[in-house]
Amino acid sequence: MRTAYTSEQIRTAEHALMATVAEGELMRRAATGLAVVCAGLLPGVYGSRVALLVGSGDNGGDALYAGARLARRGARVEAILAGSRTHEGGLAALREAGGRTVEPPGHEVVERADLIVDGLVGIGGAGELREPYRGLALAAERAPGLVVAVDVPSGVDASSGQVAGVAVRAQLTVTFGACKNGLLIDPGKSHCGRVELVDIGLGPYLPDPDVASLTDEDVADLLPTPEAESDKYRRGVIGIVAGSDRFTGAAVLSVGGAVRAGAGLVRFAGAEAAARQVRNSWPEAITTVLDGPSVAEVGRVQAWVLGPGMGTGPEAEALARAVLATDVPVLVDADGLTLLARDRSMLRRSAPTVLTPHAGELSRLLEVPSDRIEAARLEHVRRAVDELGTVVLLKGSTTLIAEEGRPVRVNATGTPWLATGGTGDVLSGIAGTLLAAGLSGYDAASAAAHLHGLAAQAASTGKSGGHGPIAAMDVAQTLPQVIRSL
């Protein structure tokens, strides 16, 4: 499990650790680690040009001390002192090591640097970057040199990943003590480049994480493996209510996700046209053509997937009510979410419910514009859990999975090629399968997102390592291979 924390959690842990070590020791550890990483990035330290963007806080102090180390190894280090004040010890160390200081704006220094070290703001940053920081962040983006962010790319909110205005775009972020939420969640994540963690001894002082991310090993541990005496019923029977006479593809893809994720049995229930397509594509599934809003004749299932392509008319609504009135876990996706947004009272049920919206669908459920959700994903997935009382998986550039009282899980797998029609339907089938196998909604949703992303990565990667387009069905078809290799 990878873990991440808010700025406040990091500060509290740092205070506790600081009480046990000599003054300045933590910054020394941080700056040493930073300097080692920077040196490793340069073809040779001696003679290379390094620009330090130095803000008024300790983040600037880290940059100055690391710059001093590089200067002692022969780098030509120039520090742009952008803050209203400058870390005194760091400044003295840099000067003593032969580094130069420059008044802002100093953009010419940024432009000629081989390496740009962003020490404008770290976990103490708040709100939009002010001048001259903003101009320096933009200059660093235009400049040809490599950009390394100290602790957090300046302009990224460390606790949430939000970016108000401009933020530094780094190729590498060197973070201290523990990972911050904002390094894992977009839009912040996309400003970080690769993230390297420098250990400063914070581990024993860290509280329970605010955010976590499953690894392959975690997911392998969560996945059920059939035993000798397992039969298809014990492995989990999933019911899928999806598709309509007009839309049949979503049904085929959702069933495909379930079959390929290892469901013991898939029972599909829906309109005639959808059922026909499902039978043609997946003879493994048992199909029922529904002639009314009831799933009583479908047979016993251990979990339902409700929604992909089912439509949003009165019949679909009555069917959604019938599925949600059952006493087994239900995963609601796509059209099912649109129906829920019209009447949230359908969520009053005793069994677990998992919702899997993208920002647009969540926008209807919460009555918040979807661009605000995209900009503040962590805040809104938590708000959704509070207001709706379910497990919520918010899809998107970084998929988040939230449940009351647990760290928000950030999905670490996937590829930009995954943003294509029908992949969400496949995800619903995977997550429904894991629910039917007995995983909690939180674990089922997080493990499903992980597998879905891995399958997409594998499907989009060619033999020579290049990447290319995938179709949603490729994701479903690649699942067995990915599960085998976990």
Ligand X SMILES: NC(=O)C1=CN([C@@H]2O[C@H](COP(=O)(O)OP(=O)(O)OC[C@H]3O[C@@H](n4cnc5c(N)ncnc54)[C@H](OP(=O)(O)O)[C@@H]3O)[C@@H](O)[C@H]2O)[C@@H](O)CC1
18 binds, among ligand X, K ion, none (CB under 5 to 8 A by kind): ligand X
CB of 140 to ligand X, least distance (A): 15
Among 110, 123, 410, 456, binds ligand X (CB under 6 A): 123
Q: Contact with ligand X (CB under 6 A): which of 99, 106, 122, 153?
A: 122
Q: Which of 303, 423, 301, 407 is nearest to 353 (CA)?
A: 303
Least distance CB 399 / ligand X (angstroms)? 27
Binding residue for K ion, selected from 6, 9, 48, 154, defined by CB under 5 A: 154
Contact segment (CB under 6 A) with ligand X among 43-51, 53-61, 331-339, 385-393 equals 53-61
Please calculate the CA angle 356-360-366 and round it to the nearest 5 degrees.
80
Q: What is the 3-state secondary structure (H, E, C) of 309-344?
A: CCCCCHHHHHHHHHHHCCCCCEEECCHHHHHHHHCH
- Any known ligand binding at 175? no
Shortest CB 16 distance to ligand X, Å? 10
Decide if residue 129 touches ligand X (CB under 6 A): yes
In the bound state with K ion, the residue whose beta carbon lies nearer, of 163 and 408, is: 163
Stretch that binds K ion, among 106-114, 118-126, 136-144, 234-242 (CB under 5 A): 118-126
Of 33, 67, 83, 236, which lies in the binding site for ligand X, with binding defined by CB under 6 A? Answer: 83
Element housing 268 (H / E): strand 265-270
Is there binding between residue 58 and K ion (CB under 5 A)?
A: no
* 135 contacts ligand X (rule: CB under 6 A): no
- Measure the CA–CA gap between 11 and 350, rounded to whole angstroms: 40
Region near ligand X per CB under 6 A, out of 125-133, 285-293, 381-389, 438-446: 125-133
- Residue 181 annotated as lining a ligand binding site: no
Cβ-contact 337, 310 below 8 angstroms: no
- Shortest Cβ 68–ligand X spacing (Å): 14
Choose among ligand X, K ion, none what residue 118 binds, the Cβ cut-off being 5 to 8 Å by kind: K ion
Picking from 427, 432, 425, 434, the residue whose alpha carbon sits closest to that of residue 455 is 427
User: How far is it, in rounded angstroms, from Cα 316 to Cα 246?
Assistant: 13
Residue 107 or 395 with smaller CB distance to ligand X: 107
Tokens of 164: 């108000």
Q: Which stretch binds ligand X (CB under 6 A): 25-33, 249-257, 414-422, 441-449?
A: 25-33
Number of Cβ within a 10 Å radius of residue 305: 37
Residue among 78, 118, 218, 403 that touches K ion (CB under 5 A): 118
Query: Which of the listed partners (ligand X, K ion, none) does 173 bind, with a CB threshold of 5 to 8 Å by partner kind?
Result: none
Write down the least CB distance from residue 282 to K ion, Å: 51
> What are the DSSP calls for 443-457, one per residue?
HHHHHHHHHHHHHHH
- 166 burial class (0-12, 13-18, 19+ CB within 10 angstroms)? middle
d(CA 349, CA 346): 7
Residues 6 or more apart in contact with residue 222 via CB below 8 angstroms: 214, 434, 439, 443, 447
Under 8 Å between Cβ of 415 and 467: yes
Find the residue with minimal CB distance to ligand X.
Answer: 122
Q: Examine residue 181 and tell whether it contacts ligand X (CB under 6 A).
A: no
Our finding on whether 125 is near ligand X (CB under 6 A) is yes
Kindly tell me the sign of the dihedral angle through the C-alpha atoms of 81, 84, 90, 92: positive
Phi, psi (deg, nearest 5) at residue 390: -120, 180
Distance CA 270, CA 335 (A): 14
114 binds ligand X (CB under 6 A): no
Q: How many CB atoms lie within 10 A of CB 88?
A: 10
Q: What are the binding residues for (6S)-NADPHX?
A: 58-62, 122-128, 133, 151, 250, 309, 358, 425
- For ligand X, the binding residues (CB under 6 A) are 14, 18, 26-27, 30, 55-60, 62, 83-84, 121-130, 133, 150-151, 176, 200
- For K ion, the binding residues (CB under 5 A) are 118, 149-150, 154
Q: What are the binding residues for K(+)?
A: 59, 118, 154
